Structure 1
Amino acid sequence: MTTEGQVLLYGWPGGPEAPLVAAGPRALHRLLAWTSPSFPIGAFSYSHGLEQAIEDGTVGTAETLAGWIGGVLRFGAGRTDAGFAVRAARQAQAGDMAGLVETAIVSSALTPAGERALEARQQGRSFLEAVARGWALNEAADLAARLDAAEVPATLPIAAGACGGWAGLPEDMLIEAFVHAFAANLVSAGVRLVPLGQTDGQRVLAALGPVIGAVAAAARAGPEAAPGGAAILADIAALRHETLYSRLFRS
């Protein structure tokens, strides 16, 4: 019997043409891989309007960075995207593909700026492609095809939630990891842009832990709550970023 260790040392069972997921990765392994900064969805290219906030001087210290990201998590995309991810996970587990398409329509319509729409849609599409091709999850390719046929973009929370549901990932872990990955990407952007040291970045991420947990728990407790946010300054920053002359990030 071939073990996962033997697979890594001696090659994949069945030869080079066999699926690379033949060893049957565990749920935690998938979750860590899909929410890793190295997962190929281009998350490092986006700042979610944070670059504009730093340019304006609104964010310039570890404390103001933590406050800004905490607000986005509680009242902006952190809250709404977590809710959409829960809905998508549950619809995927129920085999409700029509419901997933409807949820994708609403999720895409609620992105408040052009670059924010690009951020959500590009990452969502890349997520589905990476999971379909790299992890042989056929449902991801099916969802991408259905959304294309309906001319509906695949946003990141829909893609991540649905794939997590199909893969049988524990919902509590899936949603908290999804929110954590979003927050961690913003912290990374802030560390580069302010700039801050790596230790300050870790202080910020540690301080956001209770917020991340609370946002994930609230999303799971009330996934049918009306979606929407009130992170007005973050939305304005995202709009203004579209005309920022010199920038490092795409949003």
Structure 2
Amino acid sequence: MNATALLHLLQFASPALPIGGYSYSQGVEAALEAGLVADADSGRAWIARYLDEVVAQWDAPLFWRLLKAFEAHDDASVALWSERFLASRDSAEFRAETIQMGYSLTRLIAELGVADVAALGPEVALPTAFACAVDALGIPHEEALLAMLFSMVENQVLVCVKSVPLGQVAGQRMLLSLRGEIEQAARRAQTLGDDAMSNWSPGLSMLSMRHEAQHGRLYRS
């Protein structure tokens, strides 16, 4: 990976990217309210299970397919997998999250002159916008996939740090301990067949729906 591609990846995978990622908990806040996450151990277990049962089964392999579709200039496949990802957001919060962040990233890409995003349509899922940026900037796919996974995990760890609450060192210890799970999710994403992909996660869906009416919430999902 050359220096230019690495710097591009660091910029677009940074939590400082102005697309609003810090305002979402990806279901963790609802898990905290339900008592499923209460300390560092249960927080780590929640994130590891989320990676294994949700992200590695659907989000990551779908993102991998979007990367390959952009590389091949296959507009039909980009549209297909984008539509499937949007359809898989089975709560109002999860759908609003990916559309808002996708819109913000698409607008940023356009304003920076990174790529022409007009063909992506009015509602762009976050994985689609990120894959578009990766392709336009010549970022290697394997590294982009790892960065996407790390970003998701880092965001959930930060929610635990702020809301359990945990200390900063405990949060970094948790993040470091999840390296193996992140690498495993990336490997599965690159080899999982279409028929093996699944977004079946009813427990997470119900938590997200409960979060819509949760009192005193800090996050938008």
Structure 2 residue aligned with 1:14: none
Q: Equivalent residue for 1:89? A: 67
The two structures have a TM-score, normalised by structure 1, of 0.82
Partner of 2:144: 174
Residue 214 of structure 2 corresponds to residue 237 of structure 1: no
Structure number having the greater helix percentage = 2
Tell me how far apart the structure 2 counterparts of residues 183 and 44 of structure 1 sit (CA, whole Å): 12
Q: Percent identity?
A: 30
Query: How much does 1:233 deviate?
Result: 2.5
The answer to whether 1:122 aligns with 2:92 is no
1:74 and 1:211 in contact (8 A); partners too: yes
Q: 1:222 aligns with which of 167, 192, 196?
A: 192
Segments of 5+ residues of structure 2 without an aligned counterpart are none
1:48 aligned onto 2:18: no
Change (3 A) 1:37 1:189: same
Distance change (3 Å), C-alpha of 1:188 and 1:143: farther
Partner of 1:19: none
CA–CA distance in structure 2, aligned partners of residues 137 and 79 of structure 1: 30
Please give the TM-score of this superposition, normalised by the length of structure 2: 0.93
The alpha carbon displacement at 1:95 in A equals 0.8
Equivalent of residue 165 in structure 1, options 129, 135, 141: 135
In structure 1, how many angstroms separate the alpha carbons of the residues matched to 2:201 and 2:46?
Answer: 10
1:138 aligned counterpart, secondary structure:
coil
1:51-200 to 2 correspondences below 5 Å: 51-77=29-55, 79-134=57-112, 136-139=113-116, 141-144=117-120, 147-148=121-122, 153-200=123-170
Which amino acid counterpart does residue 248 of structure 1 have in structure 2?
L
CA offsets per residue over residues 47-99 of structure 1, 9 Å max, x none?
11111111121101111001101111111145411112111111111111222
Q: Which has the higher contact order (CA 8 A, sep 6+)?
A: 2
Point out the more displaced range, 216-225 or 60-69: 216-225
| CA spacing shift, 1:93–1:181, aligned 2, 3 Å | same
Give CA deviations for 1:95-141 in whole Å, capped at 9, x if unaligned: 1122211111111000121101111111111111112212x1223x2
Q: Distance in 1 between matches of 2:56 and 2:103?
A: 19
* CA–CA distance in structure 1, aligned partners of residues 196 and 111 of structure 2: 34
Q: Are 1:202 and 2:179 matched, yes or no?
A: no
Q: Whose Rg is larger? A: 1
**What SS does the corresponding residue of 2:194 show, helix, strand or coil?**
coil
Matched length: 219
